[in-house]
Chains A and B, each alone.
Chain A
Amino acid sequence: MSHYYFIPHTKIDQILSYFEGNGYKCLAPRHLEGGISYAPIRKAEDLPWGYVDEQKPGHYQITKTENPQAFGFTVPTASVKPMLFKAKETVWKVKRDDSGKLGFESVVDVEKIAVFGVRPCDLRGIEIQDRVFQHNSYNDIRYSKRRENQFIIAMNCGTSHFNCFCVALGDYPRADKGYDLALTEINSGFVAEIGSDKGRELLLYLEVDAATGAQVEHALNLIDNAAQMQHKQLPPIKEVEAKLMANLEHEAWDDVASRCLSCGSCTNSCPTCFCHTERDIPNVLGTETEHTREWDSCFSIDHSYTHGETYRENPKYRYRQWLTHKFSTWRDQFRTKGCVGCGRCVTWCPVKIDVVDEINTICK
């Protein structure tokens, strides 16, 4: 029996009602305000049918076409990261009572979220953040609970954009693990693979048939085609890791720093960047406060402020910190590479700095 199934487009609404019936809030890519971004979805028609995107360094454009697909675009503007590691959230509150005693309250705000359409690179981004927030020294309670309550439908790629480079990192635009269901969209529906018991239950609910050999072949060809569309090249990752650290005084760091706005758009759109800062928001009377955690960036000038000194005041050191951490010291810290090749840092850099070009210049 084939382990591939076929879910026709006409069953999307059933998938959504399954999620609703099981207490999930379903997020899927939607066409919003000039971009395709994750947002709550209620009906199949909410999907970005026919939309395709063009991504180049510092450039993003979407166009409506006659393409009969819901997932004809490449990657959404943001990854799955904001659903698990929130851009800003309250982690605890503290209140002083009349006797002066402090009362602490932990805040764990968790929703059951089903994500319909996670690209393979973003799936690997989740795997990398799992190591940061769950498998490292600390287990982050909020992140972990969200992961436990997450349902992931992966969506293999049928196309790549100009900035995609998962293949150059040794990966492939096909989901290999970490999903409940993995789909590949062909003309009238999806070729599906099961990744977990949760995924199997959904598939049973949908009462779908096995995919035909032709459908499977079509799906696999589309993925191969997406891989072939990628043109960016990098030296083997082990070589990159070694060469970056061996070239800490390379003149290219000055060159890139002169072009870099230090705006943090790269780190904030990165599926794996995890830096954060914490601050307190007290009430006017000063009797209670909310302790928040929010994303921080190594491009923020205060990020390296420690013991009265700013260690990376020079933008060259901020860019170097980002690149050497992401593409070298990440391995020492988390036993994996830090980049998934989604290309968002290239697309969303307003001044078109291309991380692959910078690496190739330094590692030449």
Chain B
Amino acid sequence: MSTPDKLINFAKRPKIAVHKFSSCDGCQLALINDAVSLLELATIVDIVHFAEAGPLDEFAEVDLAIIEGSVNTHHDVHRIEMVRAKAKYVLSVGACALTGGIQALRNFTDEKELRHWQHDVYPEETEVIIEGDLATAKPISAYVKVDFELPGCPINTGQILRAIRQILFGVEPEKNVDPVCTTCKHAGVTCVMVAKNESCLGPVVADGCDAICPKLGRGCYGCYGPAKYANMDAMIAKLKEMGLSDEQIKHKFHHINSQAITFHGVTARTISQ
């Protein structure tokens, strides 16, 4: 049975939980920022757990668990397994939950370098981050079955409300398929790569942000992860032609969605120089 078929029996007044794992909370804010819509939503669903917004009942049985963040600790592993066991459907949201997020950069490093990073990031010596840690930051789907995914760093309000609405209608949430270039052309944005020689990941990155960076004259950073079709060889050839080194290209794809499988050819390879 495919997922959409299963959704036919989705509860008429479903219980929803919003969980946070390792993340910045930005995706949860996408849901909170439009308070009027969230209140409207609360008239047709029961939001039983949403720490950022108030309700707390972490392991309640729910119809839909919305997950933000990546799995970084042994405690996270236990918690996501519990959440999954109590949820009929799991919707992962945001780059952390889908591809590990920025913190997954640690997956490319070792203990020594990680301690160095920690020293640079935190103002005081701390062992909090290291204790109970896994060696990696990984997406939710690396540990439990995920039914639906929404990309973005962060996701946006319209996107999450639309996805919830579609699930309530009993259909799979629509995916962001086309590249950022589509939005640029629809919005009449002059291509920053062609007109300004700005390196831009738009041709291989999924649309969803409304091309916010190209609209401001900058190249795309890749917040919404890979587009459904991404010709990585052609993209890399273009970036090289623009003068970027292998190392610079690797860093571009390391930024937000470093664990995305489509980007692995670039992000995981050893650069010989």
User: Which residues in A have some Cβ–Cβ distance to B below 8 Å?
Assistant: 32-35, 37, 58-61, 77-78, 82, 87-88, 258-265, 268-269, 279, 281-286, 294-295, 297, 300-302, 315, 347-348, 350-351
Contact = CB atoms under 8 A, between A and B. Distances in A.
Contacts of B237: 259, 351
B190 A264 contact: no
B193 A350 contact: yes
Contacts of B195: 34-35, 60-61
B194 interface: yes
Given A258-B233, A282-B165, A264 B188 contact: no
B41 A284 contact: yes
Given A261-B234, A348-B194, 4 more contacts: A34-B196, A263-B181, A297-B178, A348-B185
Contact of A348 (B169, B187, B191): B191
B234 A259 contact: yes
Interface in B55-73: none
Contacts of A300: 177-178, 182
A268 B185 contact: yes
Given A34-B190, A294-B186, A301 B177 contact: yes
Which 5 pairs from chain A and chain B are nearest by CB? Answer: A268-B185, A35-B190, A87-B186, A263-B181, A261-B203
Contacts of A77: 188, 190
B177 A261 contact: no
A132 B168 CA distance: 38
B26 interface: no
A84 B182 CA distance: 18
18 contacts: A34-B195, A60-B195, A77-B188, A82-B188, A87-B185, A87-B188, A258-B234, A260-B231, A260-B234, A261-B234, A263-B203, A285-B40, A300-B182, A302-B178, A348-B194, A350-B191, A351-B234, A351-B238
B235 interface: yes
B109 interface: no
Interface residues of B, number: 42
Contacts of B164: 284
Contacts of A34: 190, 192, 195-196, 217
Nearest to B169: A286
Contacts of A350: 181, 191, 193-194, 200, 203, 238
B132 to A, nearest CB: 39
B233 to A, nearest CB: 7
Interface in B208-255: 217, 228-229, 231, 233-235, 237-238
A302 B165 CA distance: 22
Interface string B68-104: 0000000000000000000000000000000000000
A82 B187 CA distance: 9
Contacts of B161: 284
B139 interface: no
Nearest to A314: B229
B162 A281 contact: yes
A281 B165 CA distance: 10
B217 A33 contact: yes
A351 B240 CA distance: 11
Contacts of A302: 177-178, 228
B202 interface: yes
A348 B37 CA distance: 39
A61 B196 CA distance: 8
A139 to B, nearest CB: 24
